[in-house]
Structure 1
Amino acid sequence: MTVPLSILDLAPIAPGETARDSFAASVALAQQAETSGYRRVWYAEHHNMATIASSATSVLIAHVASQTSTIRLGSGGVMLPNHSPLTVAEQFGTLETLHPGRIDLGLGRAPGSDQATFRALRRDPASSERFPQDVVELQAFLAGQSRIPGVSATPGAGTNVPLYILGSSTFGAQLAAALGLPFAFASHFAPDMLHDAVAIYRREFQPSTQLDAPYVIAGVNAIASDDSDDAHRQLADVKRARLLMLLRQSGQITVDRTFGDDELDHLLRTPVGAHVASMTTFTGVGTGEEVADYVAEFARSADADEVIVAHSSLATSARLRSVELLADAHARVAA
């Protein structure tokens, strides 16, 4: 049995392009995903990253929703410790009111940033520890059952936007299970605890008003091309780009420092390169059929009910082609 496919759009800003170009690419990708039969597209909250444009996640969702018709759109995720539950309820309540039945709210507790940005966001160091309580408070606002007397989310109350707990460890699995919420594991960049987390979630799941049985979404990377060799060349470029991103984020190199491909390939054999290799552990690469086969086997191994795919090609045109090729091959498998 084949599982539904969805997309995680990282809203990348390619070299030589702008955030505006990234937003246009996100619209085109969502439109292609809608045409190709994907279930949903999610956007992740990141801050202070020169190559990612999805920092104002709810605003990007609104923009894409206005230019699509049926596909579900949501956050994968909103980093709840960066915000008050009331603010998030109002934002996503507004989205659900404007685009009824199409909005998802995935929640994470990571900073989505470095320590300097953590301070710029005015985050309380203890905010991550309040994550479970904040999820419950947010859920109550959306249900119109506020836990704070005299305070209601408008819009938001009664919209019951579905919540999803995102995680890359067993903590998220245990919380999702206890609250009876769907669980999405970030195996597209943090693969190590995937199987343990899913097993814990399924074993400990408690039914809720939102969900009566466990539901797992697992992340995977994909590069599908008309030519398998081209797909592998694209993957090599993706690994080099991720290495540069990690080196710049850590301050090991300046933003304007450049390297040749041979130099980057050498660095990929160092410890920081090993981190890139880990991030791409679960990656389907090749023709549409080869990637579809990989994704199907990944879903079985991960015990996933749905797979959310990060199409990793650097060029927008290649990313759109990957979206199309995987969907077509997946549909043939399903038939």
Structure 2
Amino acid sequence: MSSTASPPALSILDLVPVRAGQSSAQAIAASLALAVRADELGFARFWFAEHHNMPAVASTTPPVLIAAAASRTSRIRVGSGGVMLPNHSPLVVAEQFAALEAIAPGRIDLGLGRAPGSDPVITQLLRQSGTTSDVERFPDHVRDIRAIVSPEGAALQFTSGRSYDVHATPAATSAPEVWLLGSSDYSAQLAASMGLPYVFANHFSGEGLERALDLYRSQFRASEGLAEPRTFLTANAVAAATAEEAEARALPQARMMARLRGNFPLTPLESVEQAAAAEASDTLATPLIGALRAKWFIGAAADVSARLTAFAAQHGVDEIMISPVAGSYDEEPMDASPGRVQTLELLSAA
């Protein structure tokens, strides 16, 4: 990499983490405060993920959180990373995001995914909605949403030949920007065929990133809304005053991910002290935790910033969406996330 590579634009992916002893109200307050600070610091966008029935994650309803964040910010783009479309009616998603676009015109992103975002039991509960839950119809549902949220709307064609107009809102003048999200070849190829911007879920897996980007770029077909491939990367990051503090703050999230990957019972996020005390005495797989952290961007601000810049240059992108996974110390307030705010502040100044 050239030493003159420009730092990428930075964005935020938020799962609304819930730590031990913290209420949902406190976790959401902390995340909304983080969105306000990201807006003040000049970050490009702030996305909420959709996950269900997880003790450590409160981002179950991205549209609700997006509305709250949009009302508290003035510049930053806010959106979903993403809405898991097979869990929802395309018309409802279109109406929600058209309304959000009316609340914050020109600032709404609609990221769509096809993964369940939860365990099989919750997935069945979410998908008790007939053909909406048919994952094989995901491409059709994406097309439907794109049409319905546009100012022109969509037209249903009946076998009788009659046409029926459908609009997400009655007098839209702009539409949310639609992105496809995924961690497989399928999503990359679908985004390419539809001429949509695409994001690979590198923060979650990291496996298959190069292949997915190559498929997306090589198979991309220009669309009315996008002439060339458009993508960015996601990454877990913790920046602190020292590398030691950053490593300590990264441990609670790494242990939570190890629980998820190892099929251990899920719990709220441990505090930094709880994670450090438990690390040597429980049955979580230490090698798995180490492998996870090796792919994350953890350290002092200058080091993390340099590594993110190199990562962006390596993969030919000009934006990275970080998931700030810094944990909290016992004495830190429940309605704030100082470690995550610190990560944003240090990286914006680096």
- Is TM (by shorter chain) over 0.5? yes
Question: Which secondary structure state, in structure 1, belongs to the residue aligned with residue 82 of structure 2?
Answer: strand
Is contact 2:253-2:327 (8 Å) kept? yes
Aligned amino acid, residue 325 of structure 1: L
How far apart in 1 are the matches of 2:292 and 2:345?
24
The aligned counterpart of 2:235 is: 220
Match of 1:178 among 180, 193, 216: 193
How far apart in 2 are the matches of 1:305 and 1:215?
10
By how many angstroms is 1:86 displaced?
0.8
By how many angstroms is 1:160 displaced?
2.3
Is the alpha carbon distance of 1:255 and 1:200 closer, same or farther for their aligned partners in structure 2, counting shifts above 3 Å?
Answer: closer
How much is the aligned-residue C-alpha RMSD, in angstroms? 2.2
The aligned counterpart of 2:166 is: 152
Is contact 1:189-1:280 (8 Å) kept? no
How far apart in 2 are the matches of 1:29 and 1:254?
25
Which consecutive unaligned segments of at least 5 residues does structure 2 have? 1-5, 157-162, 269-273, 329-336
How far apart in 2 are the matches of 1:253 and 1:190?
20
Is contact 1:191-1:279 (8 Å) kept? no
How far apart in 1 are the matches of 2:267 and 2:186?
35
| TM-score normalized with structure 2 length | 0.86
1:206 matched to 2:221? The reply is yes
Aligned amino acid, residue 348 of structure 2: A
1:123-134 alignment, distance < 5 Å: 123=128, 127-134=134-141
By how many angstroms is 1:25 displaced?
0.9
Is the alpha carbon distance of 1:176 and 1:277 closer, same or farther for their aligned partners in structure 2, counting shifts above 3 Å?
Answer: farther
1:197 matched to 2:202? The reply is no
Q: Percent identity?
A: 38
Is contact 1:215-1:305 (8 Å) kept? no
Question: Which secondary structure state, in structure 1, belongs to the residue aligned with residue 164 of structure 2?
Answer: coil
How far apart in 1 are the matches of 2:41 and 2:248?
25
1:167 matched to 2:182? The reply is yes
Is the alpha carbon distance of 1:217 and 1:28 closer, same or farther for their aligned partners in structure 2, counting shifts above 3 Å?
Answer: same
Is the alpha carbon distance of 1:254 and 1:171 closer, same or farther for their aligned partners in structure 2, counting shifts above 3 Å?
Answer: closer
1:122 matched to 2:94? The reply is no
Is the alpha carbon distance of 1:236 and 1:13 closer, same or farther for their aligned partners in structure 2, counting shifts above 3 Å?
Answer: closer
The aligned counterpart of 2:58 is: 53
By how many angstroms is 1:238 displaced?
2.6
How far apart in 2 are the matches of 1:328 and 1:303?
23
By how many angstroms is 1:174 displaced?
0.5
Aligned amino acid, residue 314 of structure 1: G
Aligned amino acid, residue 253 of structure 2: V
| CA deviations over 1:226-271 (Å, ceiling 9, x no partner) | 1111111222333223334555xx4x44859x9822124x6223xx
Is contact 1:12-1:22 (8 Å) kept? yes
Aligned amino acid, residue 166 of structure 2: S
Is contact 1:188-1:279 (8 Å) kept? no
By how many angstroms is 1:306 displaced?
1.5
Match of 2:338 among 314, 317, 330: 317
1:3-152 alignment, distance < 5 Å: 3-123=8-128, 127-143=134-150, 144-148=152-156, 149-152=163-166
How far apart in 2 are the matches of 1:302 and 1:218?
8
Match of 2:313 among 300, 324, 335: 300
Is the alpha carbon distance of 1:176 and 1:281 closer, same or farther for their aligned partners in structure 2, counting shifts above 3 Å?
Answer: farther
Is the alpha carbon distance of 1:262 and 1:132 closer, same or farther for their aligned partners in structure 2, counting shifts above 3 Å?
Answer: same
By how many angstroms is 1:314 displaced?
1.6
| CA deviations over 1:199-222 (Å, ceiling 9, x no partner) | 111111111122111111111111
Task: Give 4+ residue runs of structure 1 displaced > 6 Å after superposition.
Answer: none
How far apart in 2 are the matches of 1:77 and 1:238?
20
Is contact 2:149-2:167 (8 Å) kept? yes
Is the alpha carbon distance of 1:230 and 1:55 closer, same or farther for their aligned partners in structure 2, counting shifts above 3 Å?
Answer: same
